[in-house]
Amino acid sequence: MKNIEEEGDIIPLDKRIIFALDVDSPKEAKDWVLLLEGQITFFKVGLELFLAGGFEIVDWIINRDLDVMLDLKLYDVPRTVQSAIRQIDKYCPTFTTVHGDQAIMEAAASAAENTEILAVTVLTSLDQNDLQDLGMSTDTKSLVMRRTQQSIDAGLGGVVCSGQEVSNLRNKLGNGFYTVVPGIRSKHQAKEDQKRTVTAAEAFRSGADHIVVGSLIRNAEDPNKEAEDLLDDINDIFY
């Protein structure tokens, strides 16, 4: 696991935002990359786009000297996840996601050489009521904390979590792991299918390393201007 503070790494501004290519065709994904790559150099390939474009779209992005978060949220028996990570590792995405089950995390970590594994703690589309419906008696904050500690013990690179939980994780567990925060909204944007959401500024002030932004930019009247405004806000916080 990378210790960000001890290694003195400063994440470049253009990599703080991970733009979510949540589209259903490689052509549309490429159009977004070409539009935004002058400002944003980190892109998320999720399940929808991966099923449409496979590793070809991952390769295309990486070959442009850009970073990829391959967000497949792998969840299967540990041996299958281990084999899947070996295949993914050949393509060198910067981040790859798995669900935060102890055995799965350990299996993924054992197979990863060229990609950092991130554990998905609790999906930001879930809240306390949803956890109760799933038969879980623990509260969201405690569950995220436990899964993050397990990810550290397993040797993973970091976690995907809500911005509402980042500050607590940093206070209890330090800075030796990446925190990637989805569910980012503007002050005026509806929450849509995300429940535990924060603004970009709230996420970074809480200790996030990266945010995942999709519809906030994609649905903007001027996507480049929206990206520029976000980057200006982040710049004021860090640089």
The residues that are catalytic are 73
Burial class of residue 187 in the structure, from the number of CB atoms within 10 Å of its CB (0-12 exposed, 13-18 middle, 19+ buried): exposed
Helix ranges (DSSP H) in the chain: 4-7, 26-36, 47-62, 78-89, 102-111, 128-133, 140-154, 163-173, 200-205, 215-218, 223-238
Contacts of 14 (CB under 8 A, 6+ apart): 39, 40, 41, 42, 231
Q: Which two tokens stand for residue 208?
A: 């996030």
Q: What is the largest CA-CA distance in the chain?
A: 46
Question: Helix, strand, or coil here: 116?
Answer: strand
Could you tell me which residues are beta bridge partners of residue 62?
none
Contact (Cβ atoms closer than 8 angstroms) between residue 152 and residue 180: no
Could you tell me the CA-to-CA distances from 19 to 22, 147, 170 in Å, in that order? Answer: 9, 25, 24
Contact (Cβ atoms closer than 8 angstroms) between residue 73 and residue 46: no
